[in-house]
Chain A
């Protein structure tokens, strides 16, 4: 408390809360933009959790193989709502910017704590949006590992939002009650009894509150329209700022991990053998694999970076290969790539995916033999799974 009373005696700085006279720094703008931002961040958090548990399953959460386009939609939303949250965050910060200059910085210990947690909320939001935006452009100018850090800070963000809502509940309620006022666009005409109305008539002179909301909407539409085409095919032509054009690439499909990066540069189709472990282990050369019943499926590749594209795959059902080797129907199997190293060299495939009739070990993509970039000679394609788990350059399948 002594520190707080000491703070009171320091003269205020030249820029103070009162230096900002625009009507846009006001609770109602803040509450509206804040609500939109809250929705966007909630979508990001929930879809992020889906992606997290798809990659690191836990025993108490079931994994689902349907709908086959599920991950395509949730991860596309994760990235799209994250991008949409950028203008929302900036406008939100703008509306509350004067509060940064509140003097004294802390009126009480509780007020100081509240401001510290608001600070956490702000930095966590900026961190998640920035690292996400850079990550989808394959730009990693940091010394931490993106996935665990983005995940940990997401919890800091989610927690501090709930705390913020709890603290600000009365302000939010008041902002929404007052917004029924028909003259909300011109605060000058508000009845004098209402608290917080700005003292001078400024509303109609620059952007009004309604103008700010329209502008924010326009900004959200602009960043969405120029990027979301990497997840929504019919908007691809507008995606001038999207880091990926998913159908641009060898055999009409973009690539994330190149054979060079994976250390898989030469494969001899004559000596290649696919082995399936189990009670009756099987070894197949390319001719034997081609002699098995072939299935064709249309499944999307859906990347953690948000881009996705539907493709036509042809190969042998994983379930039929496992039956051939006598693998029990409830077994979780492990798909092992020829990759020299990498976090996804070995991938666990629970029975929900392994036994799904859509899950193939594919040898053809869009009517052609798989190119090396797409996992020649054999790759996995399964429904509703992140792209990183669709193992390429498969060497063997074994029971886990």
Chain B
């Protein structure tokens, strides 16, 4: 318990120091834009990205058989994360006509190739699971133990 309290106090000191840096930041850290960014990013993740993931997950639970679902879920997560990380380079807002060494790649092509690799890996995983008799038995077992399909459809 003592260790926990000490850890918590150190944490509060860190937060206090960060808050002091923000408040003393002057023109370099204007508060309104900073707060707008902090809250805006939270709205984007909690209000847009995660609900979107939940809706897609709900849709997959309704439409895909249990054998196929996990690799498709995995593939979509990896593809989605790649797509997010690629936004700044695909968008290309940082390009500078005077400095061709900034964002020198063909990023839409690069992203397409990366997504294609993920799609192929997902397809292979789906095929393996469809062909595996053990999986079939397990999936069948799962189907039997299922209380009701209606219930299943609500799993996010």
Residues of A within 8 A of B (CB): 19-22, 83, 86-87, 90-91, 93-94, 97, 100, 117, 119-120, 122-124, 126-127, 130-131, 133-134, 136-145, 148-149, 151-167, 169, 188, 200-202, 204-208, 211, 214-216, 218-219, 222-223, 226-227, 239-245, 248-249, 254-256, 258, 260-261
What is the distance, in angstroms, from A217's C-beta to the closest C-beta of chain B?
10
What is the distance, in angstroms, from B77's C-beta to the closest C-beta of chain A?
5
CB-nearest residue of chain B to A163: B11
Give the complex CA separation of A32 and B144 in angstroms.
31
Give the complex CA separation of A22 and B10 in angstroms.
35
Pair A120/B22 contact, Cβ less than 8 Å: no
Pair B74/A241 contact, Cβ less than 8 Å: no
Q: Determine if B120 is an interface residue (Cβ-Cβ < 8 Å).
A: no
Q: Mark B106-148, 1 if CB is under 8 A from A, else 0.
A: 0101110110001000000000000000000010001001110
Q: Count contacts between A and B, CB distance < 8 Å.
A: 262
Pair A241/B15 contact, Cβ less than 8 Å: no
Pair B42/A122 contact, Cβ less than 8 Å: yes
Chain A residues near B84 (CB-CB < 8 A): 86, 90
Kindly identify which residue among A20, A87, A141, A152 contacts B93, using a CB–CB cutoff of 8 Å: A141
Q: Ordered nearest first, which 5 A-B pairs have the shortest CB separation?
A: A159-B14, A240-B110, A138-B94, A155-B18, A163-B11
Given contacts A201-B145, A206-B61, contact A123 B42 (CB under 8 A): yes
What is the distance, in angstroms, from A264's C-beta to the closest C-beta of chain B?
13
Tell me how many residues of B have a C-beta within 8 Å of chain A: 82
What is the distance, in angstroms, from A297's C-beta to the closest C-beta of chain B?
23
User: For the complex, would chain A's binding face be called helix, strand, loop or mixed by DSSP majority?
Assistant: helix
Give the complex CA separation of A226 and B116 in angstroms.
13
Pair B41/A222 contact, Cβ less than 8 Å: no
Chain B residues near A256 (CB-CB < 8 A): 99
Kindly identify which residue among A214, A218, A254 contacts B101, using a CB–CB cutoff of 8 Å: A254
What is the distance, in angstroms, from A168's C-beta to the closest C-beta of chain B?
10
Chain B residues near A188 (CB-CB < 8 A): 145
Kindly identify which residue among B18, B60, B151, B152 contacts A159, using a CB–CB cutoff of 8 Å: B18
Chain A residues near B145 (CB-CB < 8 A): 188, 201
Pair B28/A218 contact, Cβ less than 8 Å: no
What is the distance, in angstroms, from A105's C-beta to the closest C-beta of chain B?
14
